[in-house]
Amino acid sequence: MKNTISSLNKILELELAGVVKYTHYAFMVQGPYRLSIVQWLRTQAQESLAHAEAVGEHITSLGEHPTLRISDLLETHKHSTEDILNECLEHERTAIDAYYELLKAVKDGSIMLEEFARTQIAAEEMHEAELKKMLRDNF
């Protein structure tokens, strides 16, 4: 149970950081692809918040207390669209790893959390694929 809560809190921190990062990135995008990329980034921020809310609900359902911390928000001061998308890609890969850690922690223990982890992995892998496509041939 301790590993499960630790994994869930780590994910909560990552998802809350995602809200801030994606919102910040949306402010910083410039250039001809701005409108479509800003829309995508804002959607990702909203989705990160929804993921954080779901994770927090799972933590409290287990009788535990969700963390108030968020993951590091390191400012790279690189604001080209390519740099922003690469930072997003790194964030998604970190989230994928965290959800795999959760899956490992709950395997054969909680079908609900196992299915939640699998669903989130699929969503994060889709974001990773989208980012790879966005980075391909344009920069």
Would you tell me which CATH number, out of the four given (3.90.1150.10, 1.20.1260.10, 1.20.120.450, 3.30.450.20), belongs to the domain 2-66+74-135?
1.20.1260.10
63/29 Cα distance (integer angstroms): 41
**pLDDT tens by residue, 5-17:** 999 999 999 999 9
90/35 Cα distance (integer angstroms): 22
Residues 128 and 40: beta-carbon distance below 8 Å: no
**pLDDT tens by residue, 24-57:** 999 999 999 899 999 999 999 999 999 999 999 9
Provide the pLDDT for residue 72. Answer: 87
pTM for this model (two decimals): 0.92
